[in-house]
Structure 1
Amino acid sequence: MLILRHSDVTTVLDSSDEAVCQAIRTAYVAHCRRETSVPHSVFLRFPNDTSNRIIALPAYVGGDRPVASLKWIASFPGNIQHDQERASAAILLNSVVDGTPVALLEGSVISARRTAASAAIAAAVLTADAPDYVRAGVSLIGCGVINHEVLRFLRGQLPRLRRVTLFDLDADRARAFAGRVADQWPDLEVDIGGGIDAALAAHRIVSIATTAATPHTSTEPCQPGTVLLHLSLRDLTPESILAATNVVDDADHVCRAGTSLDLAQQAVGHRGFITAEIGDLLTERASLPYDPTATVVFSPFGLGALDATLAAHVYDTATELDFGVRVADFLSDRSSRREGNVGR
């Protein structure tokens, strides 16, 4: 068993944002080609507690580098008030040869970066033929870890990005976020919106990553031609979803668990409001030209296939670099004979 700590995972992922994006593209393409097995996530909730949860995301991804994994990710929004991260996670990789567990990875960084990379890839695809001014600015609603990573990956996917508008219900949090952005990326112009409507209207690319459990806003303030990355899935009213052009990662996964799309589905009794899945756009099985009059909403449930593929990349790289802590007798004295077979 190889145990990869937060520092190991971060060192690997910091080495190449493009390698992260390539892993996410690979996972989406494999899913589109039906080379994955992605059972529905299991939500562990607690009695008399509506905010905290732990989610299990099992997945298998085939292709040239097969991998089987389980992500176990906790979301405790109240942690933020105690200066702790909202999410914590662990990812277990199993050998696809004999099923034995061969690696345990700290998963919060993998989870955040796969989410952010998927959002940036979607933004690039959905604005590929848009005028340059569309790709020059972004509004970030929710000033937490996810949107910081989104900005990181958007800079790589949208090299003309120059302006950022922020909004968070916690004004101090927004100011601190603005300071970090200014320090890390001094070439960006950063301002704090006067409210959520102002932030929605500021740019034609918007990323929403909040802890909202129920819809609290609409797309009405958005400019025509806005591409909205609806990462937290429960922010937009069902009416906004029904009025938008909707792109998802997997229609069956995203229309569950009280997401805005689930509520929209319940309202109309079908999923016909979903236009495309991102894998079909990446493989050009479908096309969605930029429409300067429409609002496009990308709602990714966050498939376990993304975690699996990115975790396999981390494992392979860490093994080459001799990172982590090896426990040879994790299962038995003979368990080390299969180490290295996580994807083979």
Structure 2
Amino acid sequence: MSKKVEFLYLSQEDVRAAGGLDMKMTMEAIERAFKLLNAGQVIIPDKIVMELPPGERERGRINGLAAYIGGDWEVAGIKWIPSFPKNPFQRGLPRASALIILNDTQTGLPLVVMDGTIPSAMRTGAVGGVGAKYLARKNSEVLCLIGLGVQARTQAMAIKEALPSLKKIRGYDKAVERGVEGAKEIEKLTGVPTKYFSTPEEAVMGADVIVTATVANEPIVKEKWVKDGSLFIHIGSYVEEEYEVVLNSDKIVVDDWHVVKHRKTPVLARMYDEKLITDSDIYANLDEIVAGKKPGRESDDERIFFAPIGMAHEDVAVASMIYERAKREGIGKTLTLWNEPIWI
């Protein structure tokens, strides 16, 4: 009996060919994953965050996110993702790059190794989109994007999918050239008129949904700019808004409060450590809302603050979706792990 072990390898081009840029499919995978999480069929160890000296904002960090998903998925996996903020400006390289490995849960053997850069960006956008589906006003027309990098693109794609009523997108980025080009790219991706503004105030004022996706560590968005009935989605890793934006929200929603507190750097974790908010101030984890255990938006006047930190089961779900499609359509390259194991 042969003990040869093979696995599928998917390059970034293969991932794209297997639906990696299909936002509707990605959002469906994310919702399904959160329902399984609520049903107790997901295992997520704490995220590994390896900060490289002198500090993650000066040089970079590498994160490791692992998860098991049961149900009709029955798969385990890990994403290894470096984040080096200076790459786009100094080296012409993406800030984040990633690899994802999925494993068979009966043998532990690898099923696939794939580029994780696209799945990671898409799943982060999709979580914002799923949040908008449940937490934004259904007639929302104006989206504001603070930060017009890669994450702004996938957030815009997902929020457009969640809110077909969207009519305008406004954007701000402190890097003018990136902001102007980012706005053009977002308009192409979404079909929604998108305009770059030279100040964050102009971009935020009157917006129904506000998304911050930056590496800022000081407030960009002021409380007085945020209107009643809006949804604020905080995607960045640090502090992007005045604390009052959080404190004056009617509901605070996260993907998982334990994970947010474990990370320490996001605005909600800092506010918790500074005793400005407590556990009881968190209205819900997203899985409770997706599973129907708690209502999302209950009135058009509510201000809601949603701050997903990013969870490993999201990556495993999206990667599994891509892997399943790649197998069906014969995409990718089969590689040999071993012909015969050296030891048993």
Say if 2:23 is the partner of 1:17.
yes
Give the counterpart of 1:102 among 88, 106, 111: 111
Does structure 2 conserve the Cα–Cα contact (< 8 Å) formed by 1:218 and 1:236? Answer: yes
Distance 1:170 1:202, change over 3 A: farther
User: What stretches of structure 1 of length at least 5 have no aligned partner?
Assistant: 336-344
Deviation at 1:4, TM superposition (A): 0.6
Deviation at 1:193, TM superposition (A): 2.4
The residue aligned with 1:264 is: 271
Secondary structure (helix, strand or coil) at the match of 1:220 reads: helix
Distance 1:53 1:240, change over 3 A: same
Does structure 2 conserve the Cα–Cα contact (< 8 Å) formed by 1:237 and 1:260? Answer: no
Q: Distance in 2 between matches of 1:101 and 1:110?
A: 18
Deviation at 1:14, TM superposition (A): 5.0
More off after superposition, 87-96 vs 6-15? 6-15
Deviation at 1:165, TM superposition (A): 0.2
State the one-letter code of the partner of 2:151. I
Give the counterpart of 1:138 among 139, 143, 158: 143
Give the counterpart of 2:170 among 142, 158, 165: 165
Distance 1:219 1:29, change over 3 A: farther
Say if 2:186 is the partner of 1:177.
no
State the one-letter code of the partner of 1:168. D
Deviations 1:172-202 (A, max 9, x none): 11111122234444x4222222411222224
Deviation at 1:308, TM superposition (A): 0.4
Give the counterpart of 1:206 among 210, 235, 246: 210
Distance 1:47 1:188, change over 3 A: closer
Distance 1:278 1:48, change over 3 A: same
Q: Distance in 2 between matches of 1:273 and 1:239?
A: 14
More off after superposition, 105-114 vs 143-152? 143-152
Does structure 1 conserve the Cα–Cα contact (< 8 Å) formed by 2:138 and 2:163? Answer: no
The residue aligned with 1:73 is: 81
Does structure 2 conserve the Cα–Cα contact (< 8 Å) formed by 1:209 and 1:231? Answer: yes
The residue aligned with 2:307 is: 299
* Identical residues among aligned pairs (%): 24
More off after superposition, 175-184 vs 114-123? 175-184
State the one-letter code of the partner of 1:263. R
Deviation at 1:247, TM superposition (A): 0.5
Deviation at 1:100, TM superposition (A): 1.5
Deviations 1:290-313 (A, max 9, x none): 444442111111110000011111
Deviations 1:140-184 (A, max 9, x none): 111011111111122222111110001000111111112223444
Deviations 1:208-247 (A, max 9, x none): 1112245554433111111011111422344432332211
More off after superposition, 228-237 vs 70-79? 228-237
The residue aligned with 2:4 is: none
Distance 1:305 1:184, change over 3 A: closer
**How many residues end up aligned between the 2 structures?**
328
Say if 2:12 is the partner of 1:6.
yes
Q: Distance in 1 between matches of 2:326 and 2:284?
A: 36
What TM-score, normalized to structure 2?
0.90
State the one-letter code of the partner of 1:155. K
Secondary structure (helix, strand or coil) at the match of 1:150 reads: helix
Give the counterpart of 1:285 among 282, 293, 300: 293
Say if 2:118 is the partner of 1:120.
no
The residue aligned with 2:194 is: 190
State the one-letter code of the partner of 2:267. S
What TM-score, normalized to structure 1?
0.90
Distance 1:54 1:131, change over 3 A: closer
Secondary structure (helix, strand or coil) at the match of 1:77 reads: coil
Q: Distance in 2 between matches of 1:236 and 1:254?
A: 17
Q: Distance in 2 between matches of 1:56 and 1:310?
A: 16
Q: Distance in 2 between matches of 1:262 and 1:14?
A: 31
- The two structures, once aligned, show a CA RMSD in angstroms of 1.8
